[in-house]
Structure 1
Amino acid sequence: MVMINTVTGQVNSSELGLTLIHEHMRVRSESVFVQFPHLYDEEKEFAKAVAQVNKVKALGVKTICDPTVMELGRDIRFIERVSRETGVQIIAATGIYSYHYIPPHFQNRDIDYMADLFVHDIEVGIQNTSIKAGFLKCAADAQGITPDVEKVIRAAARAHKKTGVPIMTHSHPGAGTGLNQLEILTEEGVDPSRILIGHTGDTDNMEYILRVLEYGSFIGMDRYGLTSECSTENRNTTVIELAKKGYADRMFLSQDHCCSIDWYPEEVPGLMFPKWTMSFVLEEIIPELRTSGVTEEQINLMMVENARHWFEGNNQSTNLSNTKIGGVEFGIPSRKQHESN
């Protein structure tokens, strides 16, 4: 067991419970907000975040990992405020979200300089607070591994080596960047079991997914509700097949939901993706997976135990916890199980 930084203090890894691994309290375009702050309504954004978090709290969620970092409008005080209002543990990240370029400030300084700033967020605090990051975030999208993107990935690796906190990535399966990220991170000496290749579920290309898994990393089946890259049906089929192959202990289910996001006019995300909520996995996906043969133990791995293993850096199996997921309390046989015995 290890101690993990949340936005309200440290918790033991045994206390994570039911975890949503990839959700955003808020996403903002940083430069737009700084120059045109009148466009934003802080209290409205706060109310949206609290409503979503309270909804999943009622469904049993105890912990949320929020990978909102630089270039996504990270505001650590906002995240802390949501956590204190709802009572849900939120783990914040440090890193830089970039598909291509990083600011000249970082272009003209070396990798270790950037890594040291990430370490500061983890060991000292974020944005002149004592609130500390609990994991690292880097990205690579359709543009591939540009020099600036590679710099961030290597900085994340070096910060991990100094602090021991795990690494989550944003990847683009169509461009194969999850494999590129793994190659760079492992070259820097990162244990693949401390790496989560995010958005792997955006493809149903099993050959690609298995190549990622061969490294020994975790994968994020973490964009449920977003159907532009992969349909919900195909996402489910992939998860079911991987579970049958024995990979439930390497998968996370989540939504990459943004309680508010300024990339589009306010009404657009809801119209384009009506199922894209923080509760979609718990309310609809897990029941569908269950009826398709995914076992309670496998669901428990994907929603409870894998988060602990990612933070702890081990793959030890444990007894089922008594965490309710989708209406089933783990460790207690369902009525159907009783009837079949």
Structure 2
Amino acid sequence: MVSAVRTVLGDVHPADLGVCDAHDHLFFRSPRLPGQELQHVSATRAELAAFLAQGGGSVVQWTPYGLGRRAADLPPLSRETGVLVVAATGLHQAVHYDEEMLGRLRGRLAEVFVAELTVGIGTSGVRAGLIKVAGGFHGLDGHARWTMRAAAEAHHATGAPIAVHLELGTGSLDVLDLLCGELEVPPHRVILGHLNRSPDGVVHLQAAETGCYLAFDGPSRAHHATDWRMPGAVRALADAGHGDRLLLGGDTTTAEARSVDGGPGMPYLLRRVRPRLEAELGGETVERILVRNPSRAFAVEWR
């Protein structure tokens, strides 16, 4: 069995990812962000082209079930731009869905995840390459536990990695206790997102010591201005011997955040974040974080 990354164009050798934006959104729609939907194909194409122009090679889209993934549009966009795209199955926090949709998933959530990983998302034929779920603020509610149990079941059936939205960067140890402890998901199959939003170095080290991946993704917003702490947090983890478990992403979730609409967008990761981290860590370490680490984090011996 050969290890491969499952992209929207099919399985590829992990080395083919090149420079990887390990957490972003090409399409996204949520009632929590009215009027800020990422839904226009032309804007997505332009954003991918801008990312490619900065040296980007691949993007992992963390948009899960029911939030406007537009899976059928992803393969042509990947072909047209030359950027590899990995799609997600999974489920976000309950606030992003109505009760009717959640009710339809009761009792069959893991089945849905497995089908999207192995058969395809809807009628698109596009297979997901990871499972995205979400924790709560400093804890896990019933919805989070339900989705994580389904994600663990799907992981055990397929080998797919599990990516976790940490609310404002919190709750990472609770997530690991559930997924890697009780539910027996290997830590190297878990990716924790948004750690930059809660720059607690002690918690970061505790999480890293389990062997999971730690993603620092997205420039700060007004309510979590932590950009100035992020390089130091990444350096502390690298200095402690965890440089092979670090990932970087852009996490573009609104139309106004796209570079083509005047925001930082996906190119910001390579245009501004990369040189800032190179000044802190050196080029070789940053290259490892952008290229080698994603090739291992998202590679699976698919079952």
TM-score tier after normalising by the smaller chain length: 0.7 to 0.9
The code of the aligned residue for 1:89 comes to L
2:26/2:38 contact within 8 Å kept: no
Partner residue of 1:185? 179
The code of the aligned residue for 1:62 comes to G
1:225/1:274 contact within 8 Å kept: no
Partner residue of 1:298? 285
Structure 2 vs 1, CA of residues 232 and 274 (structure 1 numbering), >3 Å: closer, same or farther? farther
Secondary structure of the residue that 1:22 maps to in structure 2? strand
Deviation at 1:279, TM superposition (A): 1.3
1:213/1:219 contact within 8 Å kept: yes
Provide Cα deviations, 1:181-220, integer angstroms capped at 9, x if missing partner.
Answer: 1111112111001100111111211112112112211111
Deviation at 1:312, TM superposition (A): 3.5
Cα-Cα RMSD: 2.9
Provide Cα deviations, 1:135-174, integer angstroms capped at 9, x if missing partner.
Answer: 1110113273111221101100110110011110101256
Residue from 217, 227, 230 that aligns with 1:235: 230
Unaligned runs of 5+ in 2: none
Equivalent positions of 1:38-187 (< 5 A) are: 45-99=40-94, 103=99, 106=102, 113-142=108-137, 144-172=139-167, 176-186=170-180, 187=182
Structure 2 vs 1, CA of residues 141 and 230 (structure 1 numbering), >3 Å: closer, same or farther? farther
Q: Aligned equivalents of 1:313 and 1:4: distance in 2?
A: 6
TM-score (norm 2): 0.87
2:45/2:81 contact within 8 Å kept: yes
Provide Cα deviations, 1:120-146, integer angstroms capped at 9, x if missing partner.
Answer: 001111011211001111011327311
| Identical columns (%) | 27
Provide Cα deviations, 1:1-41, integer angstroms capped at 9, x if missing partner.
Answer: 512221122212221211110110121137999xx9xx989
Deviation at 1:84, TM superposition (A): 2.5
Q: Aligned equivalents of 1:216 and 1:227: distance in 2?
A: 32
Q: Say whether 1:20 aligns with 2:21.
A: yes
Q: Aligned equivalents of 1:286 and 1:236: distance in 2?
A: 10
Higher Cα Rg, which structure = 1
The code of the aligned residue for 1:52 comes to E
The code of the aligned residue for 1:179 comes to L
Structure 2 vs 1, CA of residues 240 and 31 (structure 1 numbering), >3 Å: closer, same or farther? closer
Secondary structure of the residue that 1:125 maps to in structure 2? coil
Q: Say whether 1:308 aligns with 2:295.
A: yes
Q: Which has the higher contact order (CA 8 A, sep 6+)?
A: 2
Deviates more, 1:62-71 or 1:114-123: 62-71
2:194/2:217 contact within 8 Å kept: yes
Q: Aligned equivalents of 1:280 and 1:129: distance in 2?
A: 30
1:204/1:230 contact within 8 Å kept: no
Q: Aligned equivalents of 2:285 and 2:264: distance in 1?
A: 23
Structure 2 vs 1, CA of residues 108 and 79 (structure 1 numbering), >3 Å: closer, same or farther? closer
Q: Aligned equivalents of 2:98 and 2:141: distance in 1?
A: 10
Q: Aligned equivalents of 2:129 and 2:28: distance in 1?
A: 19
Structure 2 vs 1, CA of residues 83 and 102 (structure 1 numbering), >3 Å: closer, same or farther? same
The code of the aligned residue for 2:126 comes to I
Q: Aligned equivalents of 1:312 and 1:188: distance in 2?
A: 21
Equivalent positions of 1:186-201 (< 5 A) are: 186=180, 187-201=182-196
Partner residue of 1:4? 5
2:246/2:289 contact within 8 Å kept: yes
Q: Aligned equivalents of 2:288 and 2:102: distance in 1?
A: 39
Q: Aligned equivalents of 2:120 and 2:110: distance in 1?
A: 14
| Count of paired positions | 297
The code of the aligned residue for 1:28 comes to R
Structure 2 vs 1, CA of residues 209 and 227 (structure 1 numbering), >3 Å: closer, same or farther? farther
